[in-house]
Amino acid sequence: MSKLDLSEVGLRDRAAWEEKGYQLPQYDRAEMIAATKAYPTWVHFGAGNIFKALHAAGAQRLLNEGILKTGIIAVERKKKGEAVHDGYSVVVTLKADGGVEKTVVGSVAESCYLYGGEERLAEIFRAPSLQMVTFTITEKGYSLVDGKGELQPDVVTDLSNGPENCLTYMGRVAWLLLQRYNAGALPIAMVSTDNCSHNGDKLKAAMVCFAETWCKNGFVPQGFVDYIEDPKKVSFPWTMIDKITPSPDRSVGAILEQDGLEGFAPTVNARGTVTAPFVNAEESEYLVFQDDFPNGRPPLEKCGFYFTARETVDKVERMKVCTCLNPLHTSLAVYGCLLGFQRISAEMKDEDLHKLVERIGYVEGLPVVTDPGIIKPKDFIDTVVNVRIPNPFMPDTPQRIATDTSQKLPIRFGETIKAYLASDTLDVAELKLIPLVYAGWLRYLMAVDDEGKAFEPSPDPLLASSQAYLADIHLGDALTADEAEAKLAELLHNKGIFGVDLIETGLSKLVCRYFVELIAGPGAVRKTLHKYVNE
């Protein structure tokens, strides 16, 4: 078997790659890299799987067509040894019909480092050509507070010590904006493309906090605060992103190694994170931007991304995050872990789970969705339920999606509850299966599956504090709903987790009734789920 070498030298043998079915860059990469370094236009923080499969792949399509001349500068936290594969990555698209599309992506022109590469990043941020800075650092990456709502210790240190040598990610980003301000208050778009509601506001809030506090403490002038808050200088557009990129799967790695790519089998580090030199992803993708770029932008609409008004982004984002995809994923994640599933696609073959997501999406969610116009909600959810989630070739797991569930519940379900509460025609008491997911999450916190076997919950910043409320509740306990509510009252009041105060809204009674049925003993999860999805 001939070997394939993912590098500048190895890719010179284009025929060997193309014979194996790989789509290769169709542009002069050395020329692109030189142009990018001389005239940087696009910087991205958080060059993970979603970035490689969506942003970088989209940029490559435009580079292939000659529409773009510059690529992307990717920013990572710290350098982790010598660079491998010369900045190339392999994106494997897994189609529902079983087809596999393999693409070598080379649109990343340069890698920089937030810790240890400050001088080069500052130089880039001072460049008049820089138009946009995008982020995929997860929702918690923008937060300056801990689970109690108090400023994190490192944030306090950065606010007190000033812009130089910040300890925190957001502090360093604020310092880079200060470089751009000092270079002449140059315009820039700071664009969160993370999967969270009103993501641009979260990034802006962090930047304003640093700017105002540094100004108050005498480190920066008021002009820097004004610069951050002037949308004609610094914009923070909202975006909606949607493309499923599961952890690299061994079966996909095996395909690549069969092609001759050595060392492409996924590895697991001490923290349980799966890494690989490739990304596996679904074919469907959506990236919608609020079209607010004070220094111009690349013509990314030509690679299928949407640019529209802020109000439309909000509607699309709410459609996806609050109704048509994310709540369905979280429902499957919670119950999939409890029922022992290892694949999301396999859950959709389960009649009870299929009914759960259909009713949450079509019956409880769609009534509060406003049609954004550019994407039809019914069409979107049809694709989700019938094509995307059931795709047997997508190696996504309920365990991955269950990560940070406490951070996801308030948006994925709380917003729908709020919409019911605000409606003149809908009654929150009509919600039956969203409360069942809340109850399922409480059951999940017990870290015991439906067979009575212990399992390790996925990482979550509020996992330990939330589990503490269930410390004296065990599988098989014969509690009444009122007794469960009394034990869990403080947790049920937590709007930060559920999006609303479940006790105030009157939903806690139903949640606790479900919960006591779910903990009745082994098999109770399946029995309870089957009972209520068939009512």
Q: Which helix (H) or strand (E) holds 418?
A: helix 415-422
Q: Angle, to 10 degrees, between the axis of helix 153-161 and the axis of helix 199-216?
A: 50
First to last CA, the chain: 57
Which tokens hold the place of 158? 């950065």
Residue of 385, 51, 432, 56 lying closest to 245 (CA atoms): 51
Q: How do strand 100-105 and strand 22-23 relate by DSSP bridges?
A: parallel
Q: Which residues contact 355 (CB under 8 A, 6 or more apart)?
A: 533, 534
3-state secondary structure of 287: strand
Q: Which residues contact 531 (CB under 8 A, 6 or more apart)?
A: 517
Spatial separation of the C-alpha atoms in residues 228 and 385, rounded to whole Å: 41
Residue of 197, 148, 152, 189 lying closest to 171 (CA atoms): 152
Q: Which helix (H) or strand (E) holds 109?
A: strand 108-115
What integer pLDDT is reported at residue 82 of this predicted model? 65
Phi, psi of 290 (to 5 degrees): -70, 125
3-state secondary structure of 21: coil
What integer pLDDT is reported at residue 269 of this predicted model? 79
pTM of the model: 0.83
Task: Report the C-alpha dihedral over residues 228, 234, 238, 243, rounded to 10 degrees.
Answer: -110
Spatial separation of the C-alpha atoms in residues 400 and 15, rounded to whole Å: 37
Half-sphere exposure of 494 (CA within 13 A, CB side): 20
Residue of 492, 364, 368 lying closest to 430 (CA atoms): 364
Instruction: Please give the distance of CA 65 from its chain centroid, rounded to a whole number.
Output: 29
Which tokens hold the place of 450? 């439906």
State the CB neighbour count (10 A cutoff) for residue 139.
17
Tens place of pLDDT for every residue, the chain, 535 residues?
A: 579 999 999 999 999 999 999 999 999 999 999 999 999 999 999 999 999 999 999 999 999 999 999 999 999 998 876 667 999 999 999 988 888 999 999 999 999 999 998 999 999 999 999 999 999 999 889 999 987 889 999 999 999 999 999 999 999 999 999 999 999 999 999 999 998 889 999 999 999 999 999 999 999 999 999 999 999 999 999 999 999 898 898 899 999 999 999 989 888 877 777 888 899 999 999 999 999 999 999 999 999 999 999 999 999 988 988 889 999 999 999 999 999 999 999 999 999 999 999 999 999 999 998 889 999 999 999 999 999 999 988 888 999 999 999 999 998 999 999 999 999 999 999 999 999 999 999 999 999 999 999 999 999 999 999 999 999 999 999 999 999 999 999 999 999 999 999 999 999 999 999 999 999 999 999 999 999 999 9
Spatial separation of the C-alpha atoms in residues 516 and 535, rounded to whole Å: 18
